[in-house]
Amino acid sequence: MTPEGKVKAAINKMLNVEFGPHVFRYMPVPSGFGSAGLDYFLCVGGMFVAVEAKAPGKSPTDRQAVTAHMIYRAGGRTFYVDGPEALEELRLFLKSIIKRKKRAVL
């Protein structure tokens, strides 16, 4: 498995085990056509979150950075996950959204 593949496996495990039905996940298959995307598009508690997985120490491409900025400008959140610390940051953010939504419903 590639280093980036290991990061994606860790993201998938976290999403499946800890968040299950609370997160809608879409992982587009890159085809080289259309606009650039990131590795994960999530909907959590009504919020749009995009995630780009990277091998440790690697940076997003210019196209990925532009896409992430466009998502942020439109009100979504974006994360680059390249290892355990960034994965934990994503985990805490997702938990906070779900917790906030549960409080609003009660």
Q: pLDDT digit string (tens) for 5-15?
A: 999 999 999 99
Q: pLDDT digit string (tens) for 29-79?
A: 876 666 678 999 999 999 999 999 999 999 999 999 999 999 999 999 999
Q: What is the pTM of this model?
A: 0.88
**Structural domain tally of the chain?**
1
Residue 5 in tokens:
């593949």
Long-range contacts, 4-13 (Cβ 8 Å, 24+): 4/53, 4/54, 4/55, 4/58, 7/53, 7/54, 7/55, 7/56, 7/81, 7/82, 7/83, 7/87, 8/39, 8/53, 10/81, 10/84, 10/87, 11/40, 11/51, 11/53, 11/81, 11/87, 11/90
Output the average pLDDT for the chain. Answer: 91
CATH number at residue 12: 3.40.1350.10
- Across 86-98, average pLDDT: 96
